Structure 1
Amino acid sequence: MSILSPAEQRAIDHVDQQAMLAQVERWAAINSGSRNLAGLTQMADELATAFAALPGSVSLVEPAEVTAVSPSGEVQPLAHGRHLLVEVRPEAPLRLLLTGHMDTVFPADHSFQRLKWLDANTLNGPGVADMKGGIAVMLAALRAVEAAGAGDAFGYDVLINSDEEVGSLSSSALIEARAAGKAAALTYEPSALPDGTLAGARPGSGNFSITVRGKSAHAGRNPEDGRNALVAAADLAVRLKAAMRPGLSVNPAKIDGGSGNNVVPDLAVLRVNLRPKTPQDETEARILLHDLTWAIAVDHDVTVDMHGSFARPPKPIDPKAAKLFALVEQAGADLGLAIGHRDTGGVCDGNNIAACGVPVVDTMGVRGGSIHSDAEYLLVDSLAERARLSALSILRIIGQGGV
């Protein structure tokens, strides 16, 4: 471990793991599934109180309007929770963005609602790693930086959205606005591996609902007069999957629709996810969607409407991002931590931030694993470890005037 500056040592010494653990236990006891608006309201209020400890303004921002396609093919509004925004020294010449999400993948009626200790260092519970533990790390790191005397030349925004797990559709414009002009960004998703490895490059992601409308008819008397929307949607799913290649993952996930066995179905909605590796792959995926939906409409004599977008752009590691990764990894080494990074297939708000031209490390949260399952766990000793890593990284970004 290298010798830390007095300010860096003050920040490291300020981290209180027991206080962080108490926050995680309290927050994880609140169900804040992405569609649980009451739970998200409770969680947002908790976070607003906690982040009021920072020397800035705290507000709750209304979500942007979002629509979704129902199983009946209707485009309908989709409600979202409010997003937490903290602004500290907005006029400072050097500013960072720190982001997280308060929502989890576990709805209010999910069986996974309670915390359980697996051993003295392993806490099992909904959202403990992804990412209520990460939010605790973020807050502790910022409090440590403030305690070290960051100075008036440094400021930051904190954005904790309510919809990351469902694509950040109601917060993407807010992310873009807050990323503008920032020197760098840190996002508090859990580490890519339990050993603390960071996520490097990420693919993009697009979610689409493709509505196919055909014509009903009697399946026995005059099936030739019908236009089977279910078959057309299935054909589209098969063609999309067949187009999968290196650089583009395609997952047809669900078809809503169908009718009685004696009726030719006139409606089906195909849900599909595409993950392009590079911006060029995304462009080709857009062309693929256009060409295949047009071909299905012609071949099956049906009407096809597409709803959705590539809400997560691909996130390559550009030179500025490489410098930020090197800074964080060196900070880790100076704390006695062996930290590297690797490419991953997942996506997060780091994709959106990187698309704004801002270098970002998006797995600054806790070590743990089995996220998005009832085996999700947090390694408790990583709370203080990762808070110290963030605090030291932030101080060094300040010290060198950016990345």
Structure 2
Amino acid sequence: MSGLTNDESDLLAPVERGPILERTLAWAAINSGTANLDGVAAMAERLANAFAALPGDVRLVDPAPVEKVDDEGHMRAVAHGRHLVVSVRPEAERRVILTGHMDTVYAREHPFQTCDWLDDDTLHGPGTADMKGGLSLMLEGLLTYERGNPTLGYDVMINSDEETGSLSSAALIAELAQGKLAALTYEPGLPDGSMARARPGSGNYAAVIHGRSAHAGRNPEDGRNAVVAAGDLALRLAAGRQDGLSVNPARIEGGAPNNTVPDLAILHFNLRPRTPQLGQIARKLIDEAIAAVAVEHDVSIHLTGRVSRPPKPIGEKTEALFGLVSKAATDLGQAMTWKDTGGVCDGNNIAACGVPVLDTMGALGGAIHSPDEFMLASSLEARARLTALVMHRLDRQGVQP
């Protein structure tokens, strides 16, 4: 850590793994799958109590209304948990936003519910890397930063629905991101220290297809098979894949008994455009495929959904932020590289507000979204020191393109 000033060394010296790991284990023991509203509420209260140690205002914000298509093709409301917001020095001229999420992909009934150690450094457990370890080290980094005569203001936003697209928190993210100097998001880094660079956009859609029922043996020709139409639409959409644009037909719901021509099917699909221009191409592909299938199969199709996470390109300001963070990592003796990824996160939403964002500031780990998820415990204190140093240097230097 020879690149640190004496003041920086003194600031970072008290950081220890113990408190960060203790919080991580306690928080990972709470099932907070997005739809487990009791678990998400319990997690929100734990976080609110913990982040109250910062010198700011702590509040829990109600989620915005969200609707989705149910298995009968109707729109229905989907409940979400409240989102945590902490505002520190809101009067400061220069302010930063730090974001994370309290929800995980593991439902209340999922068998993966407990932690165990694979070796002295590798903690296997639900949400340890994605991102309860990240939330814990973020807090430790901010507590450490607060010991260094800080002047920078910041907002912390921890939402309850990131794993399902942040639909109930997108407006809150956009509101808090406005005018910020920089943004840090605590998605996990890879075990070798790699961080996400550019990201594609992402959109989730449901095409509700209405045909006409008929007896499958007596008069099938009078029917209009919605399942066959959904299959045709899925194939047409999948054929639209190209460089920089992935289209994934993921699930078909609906159908009818075997002796009935089905009059309802719902095709769920995801698309990921690398650029806004590819997003426009994808929308044209969807519209043309729907029009063709509707005519060929004599069915009606209603589309819901949108690109809710815009593509995240890399500009001059983001390059400068990475330069500051990578220099801090080097001065701390931490490995760090930067590469494009196919995943998406709240960093996409923040970047769309014109704010430079580095969105893999969390714990190092892997196999996320699976029962093999793990976190490297040694990254907890390392990344907490990185957070504190980055905040300290943003305070003293800003981001210089």
Fold equivalence (TM over 0.5): yes
Q: Does 1:324 align with 2:321?
A: yes
* Equivalent AA in structure 2 for residue 79 of structure 1: A
Map of 1:162 onto structure 2: 160
* Equivalent AA in structure 2 for residue 168 of structure 1: S
Deviation at 1:171, TM superposition (A): 0.2
C-alpha contact (below 8 Å) 1:10/1:144 kept by paired residues: no
What is the SS of the residue equivalent to 1:96?
Answer: strand
Please give the alpha-carbon distance, in whole angstroms, between the structure 1 residues aligned to 2:180 and 2:14.
26
C-alpha contact (below 8 Å) 1:126/1:376 kept by paired residues: yes
Please give the alpha-carbon distance, in whole angstroms, between the structure 2 residues aligned to 1:325 and 1:172.
24
Deviation at 1:286, TM superposition (A): 1.3
- The normalised TM-score by structure 2 is 0.98
Map of 2:276 onto structure 1: 279
Map of 2:171 onto structure 1: 173
Q: Aligned ranges for residues 286-305 of structure 1 at < 5 Å? A: 286-305=283-302
Deviation at 1:293, TM superposition (A): 1.1
Please give the alpha-carbon distance, in whole angstroms, between the structure 2 residues aligned to 1:121 and 1:388.
18
Please give the alpha-carbon distance, in whole angstroms, between the structure 1 residues aligned to 2:182 and 2:88.
15
C-alpha contact (below 8 Å) 2:204/2:306 kept by paired residues: yes
C-alpha contact (below 8 Å) 1:332/1:338 kept by paired residues: yes
Deviation at 1:296, TM superposition (A): 1.3
Q: Aligned ranges for residues 206-217 of structure 1 at < 5 Å? A: 206-217=203-214
Map of 2:394 onto structure 1: 397
What is the SS of the residue equivalent to 1:33?
Answer: coil
Q: Does 1:87 align with 2:87?
A: yes
Deviation at 1:225, TM superposition (A): 0.9
What is the SS of the residue equivalent to 1:169?
Answer: coil
C-alpha contact (below 8 Å) 2:317/2:399 kept by paired residues: no
Summarize deviations over 1:33-79 as a string: whole Å, max 9, x none: 00000000000000000000000000000000000000110100000
Unaligned ranges ≥5, structure 1: none
Return structure 1 stretches of 4+ with deviation > 4 angstroms. none
Map of 1:196 onto structure 2: 193
Map of 2:69 onto structure 1: 69
Map of 1:248 onto structure 2: 245
Please give the alpha-carbon distance, in whole angstroms, between the structure 1 residues aligned to 2:345 and 2:394.
23
Please give the alpha-carbon distance, in whole angstroms, between the structure 2 residues aligned to 1:131 and 1:7.
30
Please give the alpha-carbon distance, in whole angstroms, between the structure 2 residues aligned to 1:310 and 1:45.
31
What is the SS of the residue equivalent to 1:189?
Answer: coil
Please give the alpha-carbon distance, in whole angstroms, between the structure 1 residues aligned to 2:64 and 2:7.
40
Map of 2:337 onto structure 1: 340
Please give the alpha-carbon distance, in whole angstroms, between the structure 1 residues aligned to 2:144 and 2:280.
43
* Equivalent AA in structure 2 for residue 141 of structure 1: G
Unaligned ranges ≥5, structure 2: none
Please give the alpha-carbon distance, in whole angstroms, between the structure 1 residues aligned to 2:172 and 2:164.
16
Map of 1:51 onto structure 2: 51
Summarize deviations over 1:109-158 as a string: whole Å, max 9, x none: 0000011111111111100000000001110111111011213xx10000
Aligned length: 400
Please give the alpha-carbon distance, in whole angstroms, between the structure 2 residues aligned to 1:402 and 1:373.
36
C-alpha contact (below 8 Å) 2:320/2:399 kept by paired residues: no
Please give the alpha-carbon distance, in whole angstroms, between the structure 1 residues aligned to 2:170 and 2:156.
14
Please give the alpha-carbon distance, in whole angstroms, between the structure 1 residues aligned to 2:394 and 2:26.
32
Question: What is the percentage of aligned positions where both structures have the same residue?
Answer: 58
What is the SS of the residue equivalent to 1:311?
Answer: strand
Summarize deviations over 1:332-386 as a string: whole Å, max 9, x none: 1111122110100100000000011000000000111111111111110000001
Please give the alpha-carbon distance, in whole angstroms, between the structure 1 residues aligned to 2:322 and 2:122.
27
Map of 1:387 onto structure 2: 384
Deviation at 1:393, TM superposition (A): 1.2
* Equivalent AA in structure 2 for residue 242 of structure 1: A
